[in-house]
Copies of this chain bind each other. A is one copy, B any other.
Amino acid sequence: MTAHRPVAPVENLPPGTWVSAWAPEGFPEVRPGDDLATLVGDAVAAGSTAALAEGDVVVVTSKIVSKAEGRVVCAADREQAITDETVRVVATRERPDGLPPLRIVENRLGLVMAAAGVDASNTPEGTVLLLPHDPDASARALRAALRARFGLDRLGVVVTDTAGRTWRDGLTDIAIGAAGVDVLDDLRGGVDAHGRPLSVTVTAVADEIAAASELVRGKADGRPVAVVRGLARHVRAGDGPEADGAGARTLVRPSADDLFREGSAEAYARGLADGRAGAPA
C-alpha cells in the first residue's frame, strides 16, 4: 500500500494561486462514543506530525460526526425521526409503490433538506442517523483538539452534508458546520479591474470547500475526511469565539427572507384556499 503522505503544496506557484486536497484512505468505522478528533488526527497524520500545516482546512462528513456523537435511532422510526427533526414542512412530493411522501423540510438547524437530513445509508442495518446536534460546536471541538495535537495556530474545520438543490439535478456537498473559517467571503465594497463596484459580492466559501472536498472524498469508499491546503486567507488563527468565527449557521438564509420559502404547489394551494374563503385583497 502506498504510504499516506501530507498534502504536498503545489511547488513554485505563488500563494493564493493553487489549492490542493487530499482524502486519506482506510478511515475506520466510527462508533458511538469514539473520540472523533483522535480518529481524524490519526488518519491525517499517518505517523507524521507534519500532516497538517498552518492554514489547512480539515473537512469531515456529518455522518462520522453523528456516529461519534451517537445520533443513531432505530430505522423502524425513520418517518417519526424525520417528523421529530422537522421545524416546518416546505414541500412534499408523492412517491409510488406506497412509499411515504418525500418531505422537504426546514430542520432544527435551519437547513432545508429532503427527509430533514435523516440518513439511512452507510449506517448499520435497522438504524438511521440524525444530523449532529450542533455541527458548528462539533467543528469547534474538532478544531481545538487538532490545533492542540498538531501544534498549529491557524486551522479551519468544515462539517459537510450532501444536499439537493432547486432547479438543478444532482447533489452537492454543503457546509453545515464550520470553525476557524470565513464561511462567507464578503467582497462588497470591492471593485473590479475597471474600477466598477463588484456586483458579485458574497461568496459562500465554506460551501465551495465542502463541494471541493466531495470531489476528493467520493461517496462509497470510506474516505470521510479531507485536508484542503492553499486557502489560508480564509482560515483564522488563535483561540476563542473570534477565531472560531460565526460558523456555518451563518449560511442559512432566514426563511422569511427567502423567495422560495414554500413549495410552489403548497403556496398555490394556500392561496387557492384563502381565495375561496374570501380573503381580503
Contacts and interface: CB of A to CB of B under 8 A. Distances in A.
Interface string A185-228: 00100111110111111111101110110111011101100000
Contact of A23 (B18, B173, B191, B192): B18
Interface in A153-170: 162, 165-170
Interface stretch (A32-40, A144-152, A265-273): A265-273
Copies in the complex: 2
Interface stretch (A4-12, A131-139, A235-243): A4-12
Main secondary structure of the interface of A (DSSP, over half): loop
Contact of A203 (B171, B250, B268): B171
A130 interface: no
A112 B162 CA distance: 21
A264 B260 contact: yes
Contact of A192 (B121, B174, B271): B121
A74 interface: no
Contact-residue bracket for chain A:
35 or more
A58 interface: no
Contacts of A279: 272, 275
Interface of A: 2-5, 7-8, 10-14, 16-25, 29, 91, 93, 104, 111-112, 119-125, 162, 165-174, 183-184, 187, 190-194, 196-205, 207-209, 211-212, 214-216, 218-220, 222-223, 230-231, 250-253, 255, 258-279
